[in-house]
Structure formats: C-alpha cells, structure tokens
C-alpha cells in the first residue's frame, strides 16, 4: 500500500506548472510550495505537469528544479518527480557506474519491481542511454556478481500465482545440495533464483524450510562476511518479503552512526507509491520506533519535510 497522499480535489496540471514556475521566481525559492505540489501528485499527474511545464516555459521541469534546489532535498525532488520507469533507469545506470553498493541497487530494482515495471525501466533505459541495461550490467560486472545480476535484470519473470509442487520439491533439493556443497554461484542455483516466478520460488523456499529445517537464508549465512552471500540473501528477501528488505535498508540508513541519505532517499522515493505503508509497519515492528520519528531525528529542513510528506505524514 502506498503512502503518497493526493488531495481529492487537485488543481489542473497547468495551474500546478504555473505555481511551480512561480516558486522559482524572485529572491530565493519557495521550497514549501514545491513540496506541497510535487509530494502530493501521483506519477501520471507529475508526468502531465512536467509536459505542460515544458510546453509553457520551454524548459524541462527537472532542469529548473536542478537549478533552484540543492543538496539532499534536490536529490529527493529530482528522484521523486520522474515516472517510476525513468527513475529506475536513472538509478540503475548510476549503479552500473559506481563501485560501492552498486550491486545492491541493481539487485533491488531487478527483484522488487513487477515484471511489467522492470520492463518499463528497461525501455526507459534504451530511450535515455541509447543502450540496454543488460549490456551495461554485463559489461561492468564480473565473476559471481555478473552471473547473478545479468539474468536478474534480463529475465521477464512470469507473474501468475500457479505453482508446480513437484518442481518446488525437486528444486528445493537442488538448492539444498548446492548450498551444502558451498557452491553458492552454481548455475542451477542461479537459474532457479533468476528465472522462476515469485510464487513458484516462494513454494520452493517453503519446501526447503520444511524439508531441511532451516530457512534458506539461515543456511546462506555460513560465512557472514562473504559479500556475494550477503547479496544472495538480500535478493531472496527482495523476491519473497520485499517490505522486510526495505525496512532493513531504512534501519541501516537511519542508524546512530550517521545517516545514509542516498539509501533513505532511494527507498522513500521508489516505494512511496507502491508499498511504503507495509514497509513503515515492518520498520516500526522491528525497531520499536516509527519511521516518521527516525526520519525526523536524522534529517532536517526541506529534505525532512519532503521525505515525511512522501511517507504520508500530515495531510495532503
């Protein structure tokens, strides 16, 4: 369930565009006005505002925002405003070019988006970067990471709920064998995780749990410091219980040792229109504090206001 709050009656896209244009005029920028509009419009409404802004003022709204805003607030607004497909294409492209934690962002996009949304992101990637996401991932990655990530971003998973029980049992056995042999990047293990539907995979992992007495992610903790194993566990979490994965990313991003604004912004902007409500519940259950409180204590100013608006704090 989304946390985005859109007023029941909203101004026309032309009015919104005009208000945004006004927010950029004169001395200083009216950040509050920007938040009051953009943080309370859904993807198709924002798309329309952006189109009309471009027609009316001859400039891409994102470019105007880029000039007017700065720092963490700027990044939050610039990530939030585009369509989910454009945003994912941007995040994925950024991930192929950075070294740190880039595997995680790619895995997260590949495993938590619906097949339809992942495909839309790949189409947006073609349009913007004049190449495919798959070729960039394959080119920039190597070794086990490439073996896992290329099929993860490539395969168009089936999304139906049908389950083949015989297959679930036989593939649970294959997973168990490979994990027992510590063959964590074995092609059969990769095949099962990257090609099966989420429903089928869930059935397989239930058989694994029932048949071998441990959840698969427990068995994948043999070496807690192995980075590839960490990514594998995260991928399984994203494919089966994404809200738990995101709650954990938010927990690590808002912990006492310093705030990870990039991760915080990424999760809030990508999930506000999808499942942020469940993520918030999971966050509170696990940390005994609301996400609102955590964000309020770790961030400030317009950035704080923007994030809180997106996670549904206050009125639309």
User: Cβ contacts of residue 52 below 8 Å, gap of 6+?
Assistant: 13, 14, 17
**Taking the complex as a whole, how short is the minimal distance between the CB of residue 91 and its own copies, in angstroms?**
18
Nearer to its own copies by C-beta: 24 or 125? 125
What are the residues binding its own copies (CB under 8 A)?
119, 122-123, 126, 130-135, 138-139, 146-147, 150-151, 154-160, 162, 187, 191, 194-197
Give the shortest CB-166-to-its own copies separation in angstroms: 13
Q: Which is nearer to its own copies, 29 or 194 (CB)?
A: 194
Tell the smallest beta-carbon distance from residue 188 to its own copies (Å): 9
* Closest among 53, 95, 92, 61 to 78, alpha carbons compared: 61
- The residue among 5 and 186 lying less far from its own copies, judged by its C-beta, is 186
Nearer to its own copies, 59 or 159 (CB): 159
Q: Which CB atom, from 60 or from 188, has the smaller least distance to its own copies?
A: 188
**Shortest reach from residue 195's CB to its own copies, in Å:** 4
Shortest Cβ distance from residue 198 to its own copies (Å)? 12
Closest to its own copies by CB, 146 or 230: 146
* DSSP states of the chain: -------SS---HHHHHHHHHHHTSSSS--HHHHHHHHTTS-HHHHHHHHHHHHHHHSS-HHHHHHHH--HHHHHHHHHHSS-HHHHHHHHHHHHHH--TTHHHHHHHHHHHS-HHHHHHHHHHHHHHHSS-HHHHHHHH--HHHHHHHHHHHH----------HHHHHHHHHHHHHHHHTT-TT-HHHHHHHHHS-HHHHHHHHHHHHHHHSS-HHHHTTSSTT-HHHHHHHHHHHHHH-HHHHHHHHHHHHTSTT---HHHHHHHHHHHTTTTHHHHHHHHHHHHSS-HHHHHHHH--HHHHHHHHHHTT-S--
Toward its own copies, which CB reaches closer, 131 or 218?
131
Please state the closest distance from residue 226 (CB atom) to its own copies, in A.
21
Q: How far is the CB of 153 from its own copies (least distance, A)?
A: 9
| CA of residue 139 relative to chain centroid, distance | 22
């Amino acid at each position: 369930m989304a946390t985005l709050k859109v007023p029941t009656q909203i101004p026309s896209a032309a009015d919104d565009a005009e208000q945004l244009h006004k927010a950029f005029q004169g001395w200083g920028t009216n950040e509050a006005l920007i938040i009051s509009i953009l943080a309370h419009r859904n993807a198709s409404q924002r798309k329309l505002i952006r189109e009309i802004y471009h027609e009316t003022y001859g400039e891409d709204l994102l470019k105007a925002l880029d000039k007017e805003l700065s720092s963490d607030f700027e990044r939050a607004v610039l990530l939030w405003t585009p369509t989910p497909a454009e945003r994912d294409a941007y995040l994925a492209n950024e991930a192929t070019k950075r070294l740190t934690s880039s595997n995680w962002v790619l895995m997260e996009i590949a495993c938590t988006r619906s097949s339809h949304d992942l495909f839309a992101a790949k189409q947006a990637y073609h349009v913007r970067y004049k190449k495919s996401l798959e070729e960039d991932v394959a080119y920039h990655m190597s070794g086990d990471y490439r073996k896992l990530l290329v099929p993860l971003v490539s395969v168009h998973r089936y999304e139906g709920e049908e389950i083949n029980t015989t297959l679930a049992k036989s593939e649970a056995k294959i997973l168990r064998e490979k994990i027992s042999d510590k063959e964590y990047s074995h092609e059969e293990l990769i095949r099962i995780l990257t090609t099966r539907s989420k429903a089928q995979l869930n059935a397989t992992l239930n058989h694994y749990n029932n048949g071998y007495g441990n959840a698969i992610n427990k068995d994948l903790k043999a070496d807690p410091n192995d980075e590839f194993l960490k990514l594998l566990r995260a991928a399984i979490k994203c494919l089966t219980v994404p809200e738990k994965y995101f709650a954990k990313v938010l927990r690590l991003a808002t912990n006492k040792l310093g705030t990870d604004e990039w991760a915080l912004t990424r999760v809030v902007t990508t999930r506000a229109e999808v499942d942020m409500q469940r993520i918030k519940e999971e966050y509170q259950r696990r940390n005994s504090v609301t996400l609102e409180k955590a964000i309020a204590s770790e961030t400030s100013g317009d950035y704080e206001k923007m994030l809180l608006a997106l996670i549904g704090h206050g009125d639309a």
